[in-house]
Structure formats: structure tokens, C-alpha cells
Amino acid sequence: MSELAKYQMYIGGEWVDPVGGEWFDSFNPYTGQPWARMPRGGEADVDRAVTAADDAFSGGDWPALSPSQRGALLRRLGDLIAENAQSLAEIEVRDNGKLIAEMAAQLSYVPQWYYYFGGLADKIEGAVIPIDKPETFNYTRHEPLGVVAAISPWNSPLLLATWKLAPALAAGNTVVLKPSEFTSASTLEFVKLFEQAGFPPGVVNIITGFGHEAGAALVSHPKVAKVAFTGGEMTGQKVYQAAAVGLKPVTLELGGKSPNIVFDDTAMENAVKGVISGIFAATGQTCIAGSRLLVQNSIHNEFVDRLVDFAATARMGDPQSMDTQVGPVTTLPQMEKILGYIDIAKDEGAECVLGGHRAQRPECGEGWFVEPTVFTGVRNDMRIAREEVFGPVLSVIPFDDEEDAIAIANDNPYGLAAGVWTQSIKRAIEVSNRLQAGTVWVNTYRAVSYLSPFGGYKRSGLGRESGKQAIMDYLQTKSVWISTSDEVPNPFILR
Ligand code: NAD
């Protein structure tokens, strides 16, 4: 067997081996074979990285930069990402199996976050407060927090890291980023661009390793001032608890069980495409997957027939091919989890009308593929309707009218996103207002932008990423009081 590429971690501007001297394999989900070795970072590595980030925050070149200069660095970085988008996309595809068509487009879009937050860096203004006391001048400043621990999942490593890095750096913080143990390669390639752009050493550091080791040590490190996490709900709870011990602010972007609601006045063909894109694009491995299809009874059978016919034509196979429409599942445990949920749905009495098993197509080889799967006859209280599968498995739930649709949609612990398909503007607005979700798409699905806030209601998370308000989660506000009086009056009373 040929030698696997062996990676190092990036700490304080240097490429370093893990202190423990151990590496682990990273797999290509299309072949099911290991292709690279990742450093197994532990507590000592985390301490080194956080110390480097803390040093870079407290002294040296980074805090001496003006916000405009920080913005210029971020914009330079954006240009470098644009130049390298294709090669970064290819690494992500090899490591996580998402389609090259999707990843190339995603990475061409990633620079926008650095341009946008780079532009925002010197527009964070405090206020002069018209204070109600004589001879007193009061103003506010928004200051960075310090070292940010950023933790990303495996499904879109660079996009989701970017949602944290761009506002955190624009605000003047330093960052230690830990990518998922399943997909660390692209992050380690990506960080080279920070060096090329001219970021001072220690401003961005990458630790690789397992969640319960490197991840847990990072969140708990006393010099970490804030935690920005994207991942599963259970991990999010652990991260929240660990952060609470140090009273650290957190941003949590967690899972979802998003309803895609199709009313009988919809443009049927568009809605079919929208539902497909919600659940089978990215092999259903997106937090915003529209995994519950709520369809009005009056069109239920026709809609399901059309949907199944369309989904059955999906081309599976090599994710590096531009023709492929459904790629492999990123990890072996994830494939087993998806197949487990398919069994659960069958046991619960749902009817499998498409797929329902591991893909055996020749073009899928030994890869970790699951057939696009559709269940009808799903009740909203079944596990397949309540729990996040994170795979290409759609649950179809019929509804009678608007009230019924809203009740079913909101009857779930998650609240990340929702889709509404209707030709009625009145219905679009009324239903959107009543849905408990951080994002509602009407007659579209799976659209995101650096300009628009993204985040969850209920158990889907805390805080927002993207959009202007995201930067405030990486700042703290100081109120400065200046007396212009010639004397200090009675010292025994509150001023
Ligand atoms: P995960 O929770 O297993 O892991 C996420 C990250 O947390 C990884 O880097 C992991 O190593 C780390 N981690 C694990 N245990 C930790 C601990 N105790 N302390 C600190 N870090 C720890 O999630 P995943 O399987 O990589 O990703 C899939 C999940 O992410 C899904 O639930 C999905 O919905 C969610 N997700 C949410 C969004 C969003 O924006 N809301 C986006 C993408 C994915």
C-alpha cells in the first residue's frame, strides 16, 4: 500500500507534530479506504495552541492593527480563497464525499464572508450616550473577547469554519479551530492561505483530533474566552455545559428536523424540485435538510408519485464527477446510523416507497452509499419524524389545512429551518410568521448568504451566524465614564 499523506497541526505559525506522537486515518467515503493520516491532538497540544492564540491576542502585530488593516487582511484572504477554490473543493470531496459540483460552488462563495466581515471590521461603532448626569461624558466601545474556540462538523468543513472565523477575526479576536476528526484535511490546507495573506502567527491555529479529547480540552481551556460550535445536539449540550463552568459565551449551531410544507396551490414541479433539493442534495447530510415533507391531503398521492419518479432518476457515484447527483455518506458510522433509522421507520409501520437500503449500484463500488429513501404513512410522533437522521431519508406526513400544517410543523423539538410551497402571498406570510424556525424559505429551499442571519429556534441552537448581528457575538461592550468636574463630590453615595 502506498504511503498515506501525513498531516501536521498548525500552531503559532508553525507546523507541528502532536505531543503524544499519534496519528489516525482519514477515509475517502467513495472508496471506503484511508487516504491520509491526521495528528491526534490532545490536552498538551490544545494548551500550546491556546497559549499561542492568547499571546497573539495580547501582544505583537495583531492587536496593533487598526480595524481597517484587519479588514484588508480578511479581503486579501478572500482573494486567495477564490484563487484556490477548486483545489480546496477537491480535497473536501475526497475527505467528505460531497459532490464536486456542490463544493466548488460553495468554496467559490466562501470569499464573500471574508469580504463582508472584512468590510464590517471598521464599521463597528460605539456610541456617545446622552448621559443624565452633569459634567459627565459617557461612551461605549465594542472590544474583542480574546481567544475563540471554533469547532466544526464534517458536513461542510470550510463553509462552517468560515462562518466563525470571518466575524471572529474581523472583531479582533484570535482563534483555535478544531475541525471534525472525519474531515480535517481541507482545514489544514486552508490555513496555509492565512499565512500567505499575512496574518501574524498565532492569530489562527488548527488543532486536529477527537471530540472527547482535543475538542473537550479546547472548550474547557481557561484561556478560551468564547466557544463557537456547530455539530449535533447532544455534543452541543456537552459543549454548553463545559463552557458554563468557565462562564464562556457560546454560539451553538445544532441539528434540525425541518418541515418542507407543500400546499395544494403550489406550482407542483417546482415544489418537487424543492423537496428533492431539501433532502437528497448533499445526501441529506445538512443541518437544514427538509427531512419532513408535509403535503396537503388533496395532492398527496400525485405529489408523492412525482417525487418518487424524479428521485429514482438520481445518478449516484463518484462525487468528483460533475454528473453525479447523490454522493456517498461521509462516514461509516453515519451510514450505519442512517440504515438503523430506516429499520426503525419500517418497524414503526411507515411504508418505504423508494430506496430503503444501502446502494448496491456498480458505480457505487465499495463506497458508503445509501439509496435515496422515501417513507409515506409517517405520523409526526414516530421517531423517524422526530429525530435527525442526517441522511437521504424523507418522511412524508399528510395534512388537512393550514392550521394542521402549522401544528405538525411546530410539533418538534428542533427549529432550524422550514420550507413553504404556495402561490398565495397571504398564506406565505401568515404561515412563515407562525413557523418556529430560524429560517423560512418560501418557494425555494437551501439558500444561505453572508448577508442574512442563520441559526436555530428551540433545540437547534443559540445565536446567529452571518449577517451584521453575527459580529456582535464576538465582541463585548465597555462603557467609559469621564468626569469633567473640578471636584469629586460626596464619596459615600452612588453617582
Ligand atoms: P458532532 O457533534 O459529532 O461533532 C461536531 C464537532 O464537535 C466535531 O469537531 C467533534 O470532534 C466535536 N466534538 C465532539 N465531542 C466534543 C466534546 N465533548 N467537546 C468539544 N467538541 C466535541 O457533529 P457531526 O456529526 O460532526 O456533525 C453533524 C451534526 O452537525 C448534525 O447534527 C448537524 O445537524 C449539525 N450541523 C448543524 C449546522 C448548523 O448550522 N445548525 C450545520 C452543519 C451541521
**DSSP states along 105-158:** HHHHHTHHHHHHHHHHGGG----EE--SSTTEEEEEEEEE-SEEEEE--SSSHH
Taking the complete model, does pTM exceed 0.85, yes or no? Answer: yes
Q: Note whether 248 and 226 are within 8 A (CB).
A: yes
Q: How far apart are CA 263 and CA 295, in angstroms?
A: 6
Mean pLDDT value of segment 80-106: 95
Distance 250 CA to ligand 1 centre (A): 14
How high is the mean pLDDT of the chain? 97
Distance 147 CA to ligand 1 centre (A): 20
Which residue's CA is the nearest one to ligand 1's atom 32?
232
Which residue's CA is the nearest one to ligand 1's atom 6?
153
Ligand 1 atom closest to residue 216's alpha carbon, by position in its atom list: 19
Ligand 1 atom closest to residue 461's alpha carbon, by position in its atom list: 41
Q: Note whether 454 and 439 are within 8 A (CB).
A: yes
Mean pLDDT value of segment 333-344: 98
- Is-catalytic flag, 364? no
Ligand 1 atom closest to residue 234's alpha carbon, by position in its atom list: 2
Q: Which residues line ligand 1 (CB under 6 A)?
A: 151-155, 160, 178, 180-181, 211-212, 215-216, 219, 230-232, 235, 238-239, 253-256, 287, 388, 390, 416, 456, 461
What kind of fold does domain 5-254+460-479 have according to CATH? Answer: Aldehyde Dehydrogenase; Chain A, domain 1 (3.40.605)
Q: Residue 158's pLDDT is what?
A: 97
According to DSSP, residue 89 is labeled H
Question: 495 pLDDT band (50/70/90 cuts)?
Answer: confident
Ligand 1 atom closest to residue 153's alpha carbon, by position in its atom list: 26
Residue entry with cell 508553525:
14
Catalytic residue among 102, 181, 213, 287: 287
- Is-catalytic flag, 287? yes
Q: Note whether 191 and 211 are within 8 A (CB).
A: no
Distance 230 CA to ligand 1 centre (A): 5
Which class would CATH give 259-442? alpha beta
Question: 16 pLDDT band (50/70/90 cuts)?
Answer: very high
pLDDT, tens digit, for every residue of 213-261? Answer: 999 999 999 999 999 999 999 999 999 999 999 999 999 999 999 999 9
Ligand 1 atom closest to residue 218's alpha carbon, by position in its atom list: 20
Cell numbers that stand for 88 in this block = 480546496
Q: Is 1 a residue whose pLDDT tops 60?
A: no
Domain boundaries, the chain: 5-254+460-479, 259-442
Closest among 433, 465, 471 to 449, alpha carbons compared: 465
Question: 490 pLDDT band (50/70/90 cuts)?
Answer: confident
Q: Residue 329's pLDDT is what?
A: 97
Which residue's CA is the nearest one to ligand 1's atom 14?
211
Cell numbers that stand for 124 in this block = 463597528
Q: Is 26 a residue whose pLDDT tops 90?
A: yes
pLDDT, tens digit, for every residue of 460-474? Answer: 999 999 999 999 999
Which residue's CA is the nearest one to ligand 1's atom 19?
216
Mean pLDDT value of segment 89-111: 94
Residue entry with cell 429514482:
312
Which residue's CA is the nearest one to ligand 1's atom 23?
231
Question: What does the DSSP assignment read for 202-262?
Answer: TSEEE--S-IIIIIHHHHH-TTEEEEEEES-HHHHHHHHHHHHHTT--EEEE-----EEEE
Q: How far apart are CA 8 and CA 20, in angstroms?
A: 13
Q: How far apart are CA 255 and CA 136, in angstroms?
A: 48
Distance 231 CA to ligand 1 centre (A): 2
Q: How far apart are CA 178 and CA 205, in angstroms?
A: 9
Which residue's CA is the nearest one to ligand 1's atom 9?
180
Q: Residue 489's pLDDT is what?
A: 85
Cell numbers that stand for 132 in this block = 443624565
Residue 54 φ/ψ, nearest 5 degrees: -70, -40
Mean pLDDT value of segment 261-285: 97
Question: What does the DSSP assignment read for 158-204?
Answer: HHHHHHHHHHHHHTT-EEEEE--TTS-HHHHHHHHHHHHHTPPTTSE
Catalytic residue among 253, 371, 388, 465: 253
Share of the chain above pLDDT 90, in %: 98
- Which of 207, 235, 283, 448 is the best mutation target for the ligand 1 pocket, counting ligand atoms within 8 Å of the beta carbon and taking the most? 235
Q: Residue 486's pLDDT is what?
A: 94
Q: Is 2 a residue whose pLDDT tops 80?
A: no
pLDDT, tens digit, for every residue of 177-194? Answer: 999 999 999 999 999 999
Q: Residue 368's pLDDT is what?
A: 97
Q: How far apart are CA 387 and CA 389, in angstroms?
A: 6
